Amino acid sequence: MVSEMLKRDFGTQATRNERDSTDKAQEKRTSKSVKPPANKAQQTSNVSSNIPNFRSPYENSPSGLDESFSDIDTNIDFDDLLPEIGEFGCFQKILFSLMIPFCYISAYVYLSQIFMTLPAEHYYCFVHELKLIKSEEERKQLSIPKLKDGSYSRCEMYDTNYTAVYHATNRSQYINSSLPRIPCRDGYVFSQNEQFFTANIEFGWVCKNDFYATYAQMIFFLGSVVGCLGYGHFADHCGRLAALVSSSSLAFFGSLFTGMTKSFWSFAFTRLVVGASFDTCFTMIYILMLEYVGPKYRTFVANMSLAMFYSPFTMVIPWIAIYLHSWRSLALYGSIPLAFGLFSYCCLPESARWLVSRGKIDDAINILKKVAARNKRVVSKNYWKRFRESCELFYKEEFEGRNFTVCSIFKRRRLARYMVFMCLIWMIMSLLYDGHVRAASVLDKENVAVVFTIACATELPGDLLVIVTLDRFGRRWCAFTFTMLSGLFSLLGANLTNATSTLVAALAGRFFANVCYNIGLQWAAEVLPTVVRAQGISLIHTLGFAAMLLSPPVIYLSNLSLALMLNTLGALGILGGFICLFLPETLNEDLPQTLSDGNNFGKNQRMWHQPCCGQGKKRIVHVKHTWHEGSSLRTQSRGEFRSKKLHRLALVKPQKSNANAFIQTSRVPSVISQNTEVLERVQNLRPEDSVSKPK
């Protein structure tokens, strides 16, 4: 069709008039055939009327496409609106401060279950017949064998007649190290000097039963996997605020009932419930904060919220546990601040982007108007009207658009390879991070609280290091360097003989594990294309929790050898560092929007590509995207290039002498390939019309 038009004689007025009359007739037929959509939602009943005619501005304007482009550019998304209502004003600062209680909730949920099942260090077999002997040392000499290092065994006792030993006049004659040994049969005697009375002590999860504590930790992360999957669906359908409140409720009531449990199975069930709330109870407030903050403040806010709020709470939790002295008190009293999450509806706004994605555009605009009022910004009614039209258009397109699932990623070879590598990297980083967090409880069992506090203190400089280096050296080389350093320091600590040197090396490994963990998820979000980003991140995050199921068994290796545990963590760090080199760099790159973009992303980068030292790219010519998709309004992103209006084209003025050059320079393949009104308008362009870029 286009080629036939170009072969015509554009110089004759008769032909021009004939084409105009044909266009007008076609336009009348089209207007009769278009019907308004069915009653899908009240908010979208007038969407069709808000979509402007792309051809009429061109036909009625002497300046060609200038007015049509101006009409296209009147569409506003959230990134356009935020500078008008305030990017980091009073409203955002209040919202930022409201992250404090949720940072406590996240720190408490994550670390309390570690302290509740801390392994006891000083204990020995209880012998019922000798309980009336006042001297503890005498009881040990009569019943407990000694090890090679001179200490008493914790899990064995002598097999002898203890009734006769108790009633003997001279008990010292029964002290005999050659007696046969048996496992403890009457329970255990724990030291009164234990800093914290754990569930292991109360339920006797030591010696042959010490695996119960490991199982309880694994069940917690099993709940995290279930919660991550369930809340992802729940948040999309019921809202971010509903997910935040319900997850905080699970954490609150689950912790309360944990303090009332009487057996392993009841304890495990309550930890499963609390684990289901983990991550969601902080992720939702984290998302809300980033959605209402301007783009240039997001990196700062994302990392400073962790550095200023989360890190200090992780340092405080060990001392709260020691102050309360009992795991039941920690579960009951430590969970009281979690009740704040139940009242979130009173002080937190719903996600305006989510409201738009559900068609509740009036509610979203009311919230945004309150944001503008709080920030003392004035926005014109015309600006709100144009924003409403953009939201209505996007809602209609997302409602009627094609569906994409995470399975769509694996239909393209390169993108599927990226996804596999990202899953592996995130699983390794998650296991490495959680393993180092738990390792603090076994590195120095005599000073657990002190070591744990120092280890948690590494979170703060780690968050700051991410802010300084990530946008300077790029994601790939930062992830490679810090993950490798974490592995190398872990291997170094495993092969040192001095206990203090081993502790310092392990803490250095923890520090770099913090950094690479912060990089991992942001990197994955940038590599995945927009249309499957949310679902892809959900899958990667879920696999990360699944990997954390293995961290308690890794820490359990410390019962065999501390070096074995650190060597395992070191090997994971080395492996994860090498895999990082197979993912593309995203710094200073246009992030992929479609599956095709994702499949081609990074194709032009060499292995040594380094953003801060040079481009490191192959010398190939890229087709530059000349449109803006308005991705900040696409909260669910279930279509690929469905928008007919928010593709902001920048057509190049054609040369009148070459008709083919006009088509080659003016068409945008990704848009023209769709059967849209933009295609129809471009096909009807005349070479003599003036075409200019939008202002």
| pLDDT at position 608 | 65
Unique residue bearing structure tokens 């935020």: 82
> Looking at the domain that runs over 405-638, which CATH code has it been given?
1.20.1250.20
Domain ranges of the chain: 1-10+39-73+648-695, 123-190, 405-638
Q: How far apart are CA 438 and CA 217, in angstroms?
A: 11
Q: 550-574 pLDDT, tens per residue?
A: 888 999 888 888 899 999 999 999 9
**Predicted TM-score of the model (pTM):** 0.72
Mean pLDDT score, 153-158: 91
DSSP string, 261-289: --SHHHHHHHHHHHHHHTTHHHHHHHHHH
Q: How far is 237 from 375, CA to CA, in rounded Å? A: 30
Q: Is the dihedral of CA 626, 630, 634, 635 positive or negative?
A: positive
pLDDT at 626 over 70: no
* Mean pLDDT for the chain overall: 75
Interval 283-315: pLDDT, tens: 888 888 888 888 778 777 877 888 888 889 999
pLDDT at residue 487 in the model: 93
- The alpha carbon dihedral of 259, 264, 270, 276 has a sign of positive
Q: What is the SS3 assignment for 153-202? A: CCCEEECCCHHHHHHCCCHHHHCCCCCCEEECCCCEEECCCCCCECHHHH
8 Å CB contact between 669 and 636: no
CA distances in angstroms from 188 to 267, 405, 546, listed in the order given: 21, 54, 34
Element (H, E) at 125: strand 123-125
**pLDDT(17) > 60:** no
Q: What are 156's strand-pairing partners? A: 183
Lowest mean pLDDT among 164-178, 207-221, 537-551, 678-692: 678-692
pLDDT for 542 beyond 80:
yes
Distance, in Å, from the CA atom of 113 to the CA atom of 508, rounded to the nearest integer, reads 24
**Bridge partners of residue 182, in order along the sequence:** 157
Show Cβ contacts of residue 18 under 8 Å, excluding neighbours closer than 6 positions. Answer: none
Angle at 649 between CA 644 and CA 651, to 5 degrees: 135
Q: Give the pLDDT score at 28.
A: 44
pLDDT above 60 (res 400): no
Question: Which range is most confident: 127-136, 219-228, 260-269, 512-521?
Answer: 260-269
Cα dist from 461 to 103, 129, 312, 454, whole Å? 17, 55, 12, 12
- Structure confidence at residue 27 as a pLDDT band (50, 70, 90): very low
Average pLDDT over every residue of 29-37: 42
- Using one digit for the tens of pLDDT, what is the confidence trace for 659-695? 443 333 333 333 333 343 433 443 454 444 444 434 3
pLDDT of 637 > 80? The answer is no
